[in-house]
Each structure stands twice: as structure tokens, then as C-alpha cells.
Amino acid sequence: MLRTAEVAGHDPRQVLAGAVAAQSLDTARWPARVLHSRISEQLRHGPTPELTSFADLIPRTVTDEQQERLQVLAATADERRRDLGVATAEQAPPWALEALGPVPDDPLARVDWEQRAGWAAAHREATGHAADTDALGARPAAALAEKRAVWNAAHDALNLPDSRTDEVALTDGQLRIRVRAFEREETWAPRYVADELAATHQAAQRHRADARLWAARADVADDPGEAETLRSEAARAQAETDTVAERVVALEAADEARAAWYAATAATRDAAECARAALTARGVDPDDTEDRVTAAEWLDAHRAEQAAEDPRREVRDEHELADVDASVSASATEPTAEHRTPEPVLETAAPDLRDTSVSEATETTDPAQRRRVPTADETAAAVARAQATLAEIEARREADAAREAEETAHAARSEELARWAEQDRTAETEAGHELAPEADDAFVLER
């Protein structure tokens, strides 16, 4: 949020200082969320960076030497953007023609066309987006402030309609659903192990240094007994090194799995952050569970409302009156077991990982507890959870691929059927033209 505010022209130090000084943080359970909410309210509907050059992305807090280097990089990026605009005008790809129309013949209009296409082409090259018809792809997540700013600049340059639903037009319930969707995604996130991984790395280095130190002292010791003791200490330190090194490998796998989960849930997280900011701006606490209504409660209320309205329902036709009389008489007595409608039998589905995993909220937030070497059982649990997460991500990828393949096959089949129909119509037309001159009037009428 601070980086986005900086790109939009705000001083991030002043923005953060104002958010911290607004009210005490002593009772805040999640200080980062509280500050994020305060900054969102301070900047109202959120900062809207407007880029005219890549130099607008250079942070204000860098040193003079860094500023000079970044200016060179920004100038190179702008030059590349202009070159891409010229190349796009020469190649005229479908996405550019669809967004900007044909390349103008007028020199001034062509320069403007190239400038607009350059922003989009630069974004496509930087993100690897290569779709022929989709100019920009999905908007980057809010955490990617620079890429999001370039996407916005390209979006404005192409005059594209905003494909995302404006949070202002959504109801409180729809915004809550977005927040709840990411809360469910958080339940299957791998445990955060970055701090433990750093501590374990340090422990492995310390044990390795101890093993070398004890072994070196043993080699120069004059007393055979002391040398034997030092070798024993070196062997023990080496064993500790091997044990901790195994945990490093396991924790690295868990950390990579969390990174994969973070990328897989980026869109849901971005929508939830926007929805949370919109709810906060409306004075609604998205974390307040007292005013939430469960599906069972809603269904009970719906059935009660229907039952209350049935006696006053308007009856217009005789058959409706007969149906009502029959339903009333049938409801006067309790149906017997043999006439009672059997309850539907539901198949037992596999448990949802989002319902069986442990929520990230149960993890410790104490930095001292996080930055420690985990036990063997804790490491094994983290690895098991990471493996379950990777399996879920792979299952989603396979489902998406299968759905895409099905849609592609359906589209191909539709095109094939349309082509056959057109061929049949063409054949019938040609046959009619050939037979009409030789046939009598009755045969023509019959056809």
C-alpha cells in the first residue's frame, strides 16, 4: 500500500506516520491490517498512480547514486517502450488492432497510436503475456505495485473498459463473500517457516563451524585423552550438522510450497483486500462475526416466510383451489412412513482441504517463537502440510486444464457443425439451381 501510494505521488513516510499517530496500536491484534485500513481511509478510494514515464516508478527514498542508476534504467525502459510501439505498428497484431483500430496513415496520428500501443507492448513483454486477442490479461495483484501501475497505464492508453466489478457497486454481502473466500484459502496455506528456516540455517552453520574447530584442536592436542575428547565433540557437532541440514532441506520445501500457494491465491487475495477496504470505508467491520447469517439460518428464515405467506396466497383458478385443498387436507395429518417422501441420499464427497487444514490464524505471532529451530515433529508436520498444499494446487491446475480442453473441444465441435450446415445449405442451393430449369412447375412447387 505504501509503495502504491508513493507511485501515486504521496510521501510514504508521511502516510505511514499519519496512520501510526492516528490512534494507539496497543490493542491491535494485527497491526499491519490496522495500519492498512487507516491508510486506505486516509487515501479514501485508494491511490491511483498515473505513469508518463518509467522514471515515475523510482522511489523517493533511494540514495543519489541509486537515483542516478535508476534514471538510466528508466530511460532504457522508456526507449524500449517506444521501440515496441513502433514494432507493434509495423506488425499490427490482433490485440492492438482490436483495442486501437487500424494503424493510421497520418504521421501524427500514427505517433499517438504507437505511444499507446507501446505501453501495452511493454507490459506484455515484462509479464510474458502472449495472448493474441487479450491485450493485457488480468490486472496484477495489489502487492505488485510497479507492475500494477504499468498495467493501469496500458489500460488507460488502450481506452479499455474496466473488466473488474467496481467494489462501490457491490453489496455488503457480496464484499463479505470476497473476504470470506480468501479466509477459506488461508486455511490450507502451508505454515510460514521463513523465520525458522533462517534460524535453522544459522544453527547448521554454527554446528559445522564447531565440528571443524573441535577437529582442528584435536589434531594439535598433545594429550591423547584430550584429543579423543575433542574428536568426540567434533563428531557430535558433525552429527548435529547433518540433522539440522536435513531440516533445512525440508523447511526449504515447505517455504517453496508457501510461495506457490501465495501465487495461486493472488487473485482471490487481491479481491479480498479491495473488498475489505470497501467495507471499512462503509463503516462495516469485515471481521465482526455477530451480524453474519449462516446458510442454515437463512434457509430456516426463508421457509418460515413461505409458511407465513401461504395462507394469504391468491387463488385464481379452480385447479389451483383443488391443489390447495388437497395440500391442506394432506398436511392435516402426519403422513405414514410408507407414504412419506424418502430423504435424498447424498454421496459422500472427499473432504475439502479448506475445511480440514489448520488455519494460519492459529500459528504463533511471537517473533521469538518463530525464529527458532523447529523440532523434528514440527518439521515433519510442516512438510506434510506443504505436500497437501502442492497436491491441491496441482489438482486445481488439472481441473482448469480439463475445463479449458473441454471448452476448446466444444468450440471446435460447434464450428464443425456450423461448417457442415453451411455446406449442406450450399449443396441444396446448387442442386436447386441445377434441377429447376429441367423440372416442371409441380416438381418445383413440391421442392
Chain segment 295-352, per-residue pLDDT in tens = 777 788 878 887 877 776 665 555 554 444 444 444 444 444 444 444 444 444 455 5
Average per-residue pLDDT in the chain?
78
CA of 256: how far to CAs of 54, 183, 260, 305, 378, in Å? 31, 21, 6, 51, 17
Torsion sign across C-alpha atoms 100, 4, 77, 130: negative
Q: For the residues of 56-119, what is the DSSP string, one character each?
A: GGS-TTS-HHHHHHHHHHHHHHHHHHHHHHHHHHHH--HHHHHHH-SPPSSHHHHHHHHHHHHH
Q: What's the one-letter identity of residue 419?
A: R
CB atoms within 10 A of CB 285: 12
Task: Give residue 47's pLDDT.
Answer: 53
Expressed in angstroms, the distance from the first to the final Cα of the chain is 73
- The answer, as to whether pTM is greater than 0.75, is no
- Report the C-alpha gap between 431 and 85 in whole angstroms: 52
Average pLDDT on 190-202 reads 85
pLDDT tens profile 76-118: 999 999 999 999 999 888 888 888 888 998 989 999 999 999 9
Q: What is the DSSP string of 345-366?
A: PPP-PPPPHHHHSPPGGGS---
> Taking the CB of residue 165, how many other CB atoms lie within 10 A of it?
12
Q: Is the dihedral of CA 10, 13, 17, 20 positive or negative?
A: positive
* Alpha helices (H) in 158-193, listed in sequence order: 172-186
> Cα(177)–Cα(175) distance, rounded to whole angstroms?
5
- What is the tens place of the pLDDT at every residue in 363-404? 555 555 666 788 888 888 888 888 888 888 888 888 888 988
* Statement: residue 193 has pLDDT above 60: yes
Residue 307 burial (10 A CB sphere; 0-12, 13-18, 19+): exposed
Residue pair 71/55 in contact by the 8 Å Cβ criterion:
yes
User: What pLDDT, on the 0 to 100 scale, is given for residue 307?
Assistant: 80
Asked if pLDDT for residue 22 goes beyond 80, the answer is yes
Q: What is the pLDDT of residues 160-184, one digit of tens each?
A: 766 554 666 677 888 888 888 888 8
Cell of 26: 496497543
Q: Which residue has the cell 543519489?
A: 64
Diameter of the chain by CA atoms? 127
pLDDT digits (tens, 9 = 90+) for 113-124: 999 999 999 999
Of the candidates 34, 39, 31, the residue with the CA atom closest to the CA atom of residue 285: 34
Please check the confidence at residue 131 and state whether its pLDDT lies above 90.
no
Q: How far apart are CA 22 and CA 239, in angstroms?
A: 53
C-alpha span between 385 and 258 (Å, rounded):
10
Alpha carbon distance 58, 146 (integer Å): 10
The burial class, CB within 10 Å (0-12 / 13-18 / 19+), for 301 is exposed
